[in-house]
Amino acid sequence: MNIKQLRYVVAIANSGTFREASEQLFVSQPSMSIAVKDLEQELGFQIFERTNTGATLTIEGERFYEQAQTVLRNFETFESKYSKPKESDKTFSVASQHYDFLAPVAVEFAKKNPEIKNFRIFESTTYNILQEVAQGHSELGVVYLNKQNRSGILRMLNKLELDYEEIFLSQTHIYIRKGHPLAQRETISDDDLKPLDRVRFTQENEQFLYYSEDLIETFENTLIYNVTDRASLNGILERTDAYATGLGFIDKESVHNVTVVPMEGDNGNSLILVKHRGHLLSNAATSYKRSLEVYFENYEF
């Protein structure tokens, strides 16, 4: 038994498939399958029930998974403290949903922390962000909660033993091209959006739709462009009368033909910062959090 095998078991249990776990850990699926099978032979019991659609924990596997999580958390804490401490002080990683403020905040953070020589921004889906933080690849995760996704995300945070802190509250904003018929409105209503096409960031599959980055519900018969990056989203907005939803931030230095208009009412969106439960933030993480706060304090909607 070794740490690598424990990481494989936890990743498979969290994702539900060998394929997704192997992609997250950047190993081949056959290598992961062999390592887990070797571990099961060593333990004398089966950890996973394999099916055509994925892998589920057996009763013995559930007990093993819970203890493996504890061992991994303790090992990662120990490793971060004693394994190449000088090198680890020079690195920092944050995982986030798709936000325009990532670039300006990153530049400001880098200026304040010249000792950080390897700064990683992992921009991905909600599920992958939570896994990134849970597995220790990123110290912080940036996601939002709203009435649609709150219960699902809070359940996953608890399962992964992650804590969160609200760092910004906002009403929903509608992103449209500057020449859009609604661009000069002070606010936009649901009725205004019903006849329009929509652009949104997609999740991995239907299983994770309750992690959706949509801030409002989709109307029946709406054409939806599902994209995975901000460049595609902005490109579609600039060429059509489609709309997207968000917190209202635009990086004005890189986005020139998209504007935002507030939705009517207060939709109770909160941007949260996710971290390991019980872990103190490093100096780099504390500085990044402050860079976020300063950006929000100075941003003019």
Q: Which residue has the higher pLDDT, 76 or 115?
A: 115
pLDDT at 80: 64
Assess whether pLDDT exceeds 80 at residue 144: yes
21-54 pLDDT, tens per residue?
888 888 898 999 999 999 999 999 999 999 888 8
What pLDDT was estimated at residue 82? 63
108 pLDDT more than 60: yes
Mean pLDDT of all residues in the chain?
A: 87
**CATH class of domain segment(s) 84-301:** alpha beta
| Residue 48 host element (H or E) | strand 48-50
The answer to whether the beta carbons of residues 77 and 276 sit under 8 Å apart is: no
d(CA 269, CA 148): 10
Residue of 51, 45, 78, 76 lying closest to 63 (CA atoms) = 45
* Domain definitions of the chain by residue range: 3-82, 84-301
Give the least confident one: 108-117, 190-199, 204-213: 204-213
Rounded Cα distance between 269 and 299, Å, is 17
Length of the chain: 301
Where is 270: in which H helix or E strand? Answer: strand 269-276
The band of 219, judged by pLDDT with boundaries at 50, 70 and 90, is low
Q: Do 92 and 120 contact (CB within 8 A), yes or no?
A: yes
Alpha helix positions (H), 121-255:
126-134, 150-159, 190-193, 230-239
- Is the dihedral angle over the CA atoms 76, 119, 144, 266 positive or is it negative? positive
CATH fold match for the domains 3-82 and 84-301 = no
Place of tokens 């013995």: 60
Angle at 208 between CA 46 and CA 200, to 5 degrees: 155
pLDDT tier at 296, thresholds 50, 70, 90 = very high
Residue 241 near residue 199, CB atoms below 8 Å: no
The mean pLDDT value for 187-201 works out to 91
The Cα 100–Cα 103 span in angstroms is 7
pLDDT given at position 150: 83
What pTM was estimated for this model as a whole? Answer: 0.68
- For the chain, what percentages of helix, strand and coil (3-state, to nearest 5) are there? 45, 20, 35
Q: How far apart are CA 16 and CA 14, in angstroms?
A: 6
The domain defined by 3-82 folds into: Arc Repressor Mutant, subunit A (1.10.10)
Tens of pLDDT, residue by residue over 233-286, are 999 999 999 999 888 899 888 888 999 999 887 667 889 999 998 888 999 999
- pLDDT-based confidence at residue 88 (cuts at 50, 70, 90): low
Q: In sequence order, what are the beta bridge partners of 260? A: 175
Spatial neighbors of 78 by CB under 8 A, at least 6 apart, are none
Question: What's the confidence (pLDDT) of residue 93?
Answer: 94
* pLDDT band for position 112 (cuts 50, 70, 90): very high
Distances (CA, A) of 38 to 20, 45, 100, 212, 231: 20, 11, 45, 37, 44
Are the CB atoms for 147 and 212 separated by under 8 Å? no
Q: Does residue 186 have a pLDDT over 90?
A: yes
Q: Would the pLDDT of 209 be above 60?
A: no
Position 207 pLDDT exceeds 50:
no
